[in-house]
A and B are shown apart, each in its own frame.
Chain A
C-alpha cells in the first residue's frame, strides 16, 4: 500500500503560541501549544477534551503536586521522556521526584516534529534538538503563571517570589505547592514574553537525573505495545511469502482450523492471517496453513547476483551530487592513487520486542495501540485501510521494546496488516497482531545493501589531491511520504550522508549515485546512511594514513583544521585513550581510530582489540562525544555504550542474505546480536558545550566498526573492506 502524505494538507507551522488547556480536570494546571489552523484532518479528538487530560498539552500539574510531561516523542529506550521532562522541570523549578510522563495522542498541530514535520514522529536523532526551546518554554511559561497566581493571591510583588523544588514562596512567610496553586495558575494569562534561564542558572540540565522509566522496566509493570489486552481480543499471526514481492493467491486452512483456539483465517494483501484465542493458537495455525503464492513480481536473485548488478552499475557514471572543486583535475595531479571497493549487507533491526499492535474498530472509528514512532503515518494508513477519516482513528502510543528505526516505517507495514485483518473480520473483535522473531528477521525493511567505490588521489607529499566516491544502493526515501524532503534530482540524501557532508576538508571531491531497484523493502536503520558511509570514510582515511605514513589522528586533525568542534573531539578521545603513548601490541593486539559526525553530533572512538587467527576480542572502546548541551550526561553515556553493543555484532557477523530471493537467516542463532561476554569495556567522555543540543540515539553507531577494523589492520595488516568481517569472538 502506498502512503500518500500529499492527501494531507500542509500547513504553516511557523506560527506558534502557547495556550492553556481548554478543559482541564478540576484544580489541575495544563499548558500546551497551539498552532492556528484547522485540525480536522489530523486531530484525533476535536473540540473540548473528553479524557482525563486535554490532548493539546505538554504539561499537566495535578493537585497531588505530580507534574506529568505529555511526551510528543516515542520512548524506545533512548531516554527521550527523561530528557524532555528535564527541560520542562528545569524551567518550572519542579521537584524531579514529582515528574511523570505520558504519551501524547496523535495531533501534529500540537506535537509536530519541528525538524521533519508536519507529522508527529520521532527519529533522525531530532527529539532533543527540536524540543530544546519548546519544552523549556513550556516549563518557563508555567512557572511564570504560578508566580503570577501567587502574587495575586498573596497580594505581594512577583519579584519577591521564588520557586524551588515545586514550592512557591516569598520572604514573608507565604508558601504553596504547585498543586495548591494549580487552579489559580490556570486563571492567570499565558505570558507572551518568555525568558529562559541562562545556562549558569541551570540546576537540572547537565546533571545525572534518574530515568523516569527505570522503575516500570525493572518490575515488569511497564506497558509495552504487546502487553495490551482488550476484551474479546483475538491474536493474529501472518504467513508472509518467502520471496519479497510475492502475493498470496489462495490458501488451504483446513488443517489450521482443526486446531483448538484457531478462530478464523483471512487473506490480506501481504499474506494470510490466522486469528486465535491466544498467541500460541495463532502461531500453530499459521504453521499449519498451506498458501499458494504468485511470485511473478518477486525478487528471485541471490545476494551475489544483486552485487554483480551493483558492480556493473558501479562501472558507469551515476547521478552526480553537488561536490566541490574539480575531482578529475585533482586526480590528474595525483602522484599515486588508492582505490577501494566496499560492500555492506542488508541488516535487520531486530528490536527485542518483535513488531506487534492492537486495533479495535468501533461504530464511529477505531483505536490503535502500538509502539508508534510515526503516529501521524500510523493514523493515516489505518484510516485509509478502514475507509475512515484520520480523525476517527485514536492512537495510543506505548513503550517500544526497541526500534532502531523499524517502528518508524513510513509504509507502516504492520499497521496496514492489522488494519486489513480487522477489516476482513468486519471489526467483530479487537485484533492483536504479533510478529514472531522469524517474521522479524525475514520481514524486510532492511538497512540497504550497498556498494561503495572510492578512488583517492595522493600527491607525492601525501596530501589528498582528489576524492571520487560512488555509491550503489536502494533509496530509502523514494516512494515514501517523505520523498520530497530527502530526494533531490534523483539522489536520496540518506544514500550519501556522511560522505557528501564529511567534516574533512576535501577540496576536489566528486560523489555520484546509482539507485538500485529491488522488491526487497529497505528502511532507515540506526544511523541510516551513516551506518555504511561512516565505515567507508573512516576505513579509507585509515588507508590513506597508512599509504602516506601519517599517524591516523594527525591526518584527521590536518583534514579538520577548519572544523574546531570536530577536531576537539578527535583530540579528546586521542588524549583519553593515550594515543600518543606506545600501545603494548604484544601478540595480536591492535589499536584503531575512527571519527564520524552524524545528526550534528560528533563521535570519536579508539578501539583496542586482540586477535588469534580465528577470533577477535574487543577489549576496550574509548569514546568522546560532542552533542552540544548534554542534557542528561548519563543518558548520553548510556546511548554511546548501547550503540557500541548494537554495532558490534553488525561489524563482526550480522547480515541478511538472499538465496534465490529467500532470506537465509531467521532468528538469533543466525542473526545473533552481541552477547555479554563480547561487550568491551567502554569509556565515554563528553565535551562540555553550550551549543544547541543534537541527537544521541544514533551517532554512536557509525564509528564503532571502522575503529575495530582499523585496530585489526594495525594488529594484523589485514584490511576488511566489507562487512561483516566474519570474525568469531572467543567463547
Chain B
C-alpha cells in the first residue's frame, strides 16, 4: 500500500510504486482537473505541486511522491492562487481549456518564486507548458495582472 497526501487528505492505494502519479490522481482519486497531454514531461498539462514545487505528474512515480504534499488544481488556495485564477477569468484566457490547469499550476509557482516577473521570466517559467490553442498572449497578460494584484 502506498499513502499519498493529496490536497491535504491522506489516501491509500494498492498500486505499483512505479505507477505515474498522474494516473493515480486521475484514475484512482478521480481528480480529473490534472490532464494527460504527452506522457513524457514535454507539455505541462499534468503539472501539480509537490511540496510547493511544479512537478510533471506523468513522469513522477507514486513511490517518489509518497510522503510529499501533493496539490492539484482542485486543491489550490491562498492569495497567489486566487490572483492567478481571477486574472485568468477576467481576461478570458481559456479557449479549449485543456492545458489551462497545468498553465495555472506553473504560473502559481512562478509567482510564488518571483513577485514581479519580467517577460523573460515568464518565458522561462512557462516554457514547459504547451497551449495548442495559442493563448500565450493572454497567459502572459494574466501573469502580469496577477503580479500587479498581489503587489
Contact = CB atoms under 8 A, between A and B. Distances in A.
Interface stretch (A20-28, A188-196, A484-492, A641-649): A641-649
A224 B45 CA distance: 13
Nearest to B19: A280
B133 A214 contact: no
B96 A280 contact: no
B43 interface: yes
A402 interface: yes
Say which size band chain A's interface belongs to.
Answer: 35 or more
B95 A77 contact: yes
Contacts of A675: 127, 130, 136
Contacts of A681: 137
A434 B140 CA distance: 32
Interface string A633-669: 0110011011111101000000000000000000111
B9 to A, nearest CB: 16
B122 A676 contact: yes
Contacts of B104: 218
B109 interface: no
B33 interface: yes
A644 B34 CA distance: 26
Contacts of A280: 19-20, 23, 27
How large, as a class, is the contact surface on chain B? 35 or more
B149 to A, nearest CB: 15
Most chain A CB within 10 A, of B72, B124, B130, B133, is at B133
A324 interface: no
A398 to B, nearest CB: 11
A278 B28 contact: yes
A215 B39 CA distance: 26
A260 interface: yes
Contacts of A667: 38-40, 42
A399 interface: yes
A218 B85 contact: yes
B38 A437 contact: yes
A644 B134 contact: yes
Interface in B71-92: 72-74, 85, 88-90, 92
A400 B96 contact: yes
Contact of B43 (A223, A283, A352, A635): A352
B145 to A, nearest CB: 13
A260 B16 contact: yes
A219 B73 contact: yes
Contacts of B74: 219-221
Given A220-B34, A280-B23, A354-B36, A634 B92 contact: yes
A654 to B, nearest CB: 11
B129 A220 contact: no
B33 A641 contact: no
Contact of B134 (A220, A436, A438, A641): A641
B11 to A, nearest CB: 15
A229 B127 CA distance: 32
A217 B32 CA distance: 12
Contacts of B96: 76-77, 351-353, 399-403
B133 A645 contact: yes
Nearest to A648: B134
Contact of A351 (B42, B132, B137, B140): B132
Contact of A218 (B19, B39, B100): B100
A530 B44 CA distance: 31
A350 interface: yes
A39 interface: no
Given A352-B96, A352-B131, A646-B132, A401 B35 contact: yes
Interface string B17-55: 001100100111011111111111011010000000000
Nearest to B40: A667
A517 interface: no
B123 interface: yes
Chain A CB count within 10 A is highest, among B38, B42, B123, for B38
A213 interface: yes
Contacts of A473: none
Shortest 6 CB-CB distances between A and B: which pairs?
Answer: A645-B134, A220-B33, A401-B98, A217-B97, A77-B96, A77-B95
12 contacts: A213-B97, A214-B88, A218-B85, A220-B34, A223-B32, A438-B39, A641-B134, A642-B135, A645-B135, A648-B134, A669-B42, A676-B129
Given A220-B74, A402-B133, A677-B124, 4 more contacts: A229-B32, A641-B138, A668-B40, A679-B140
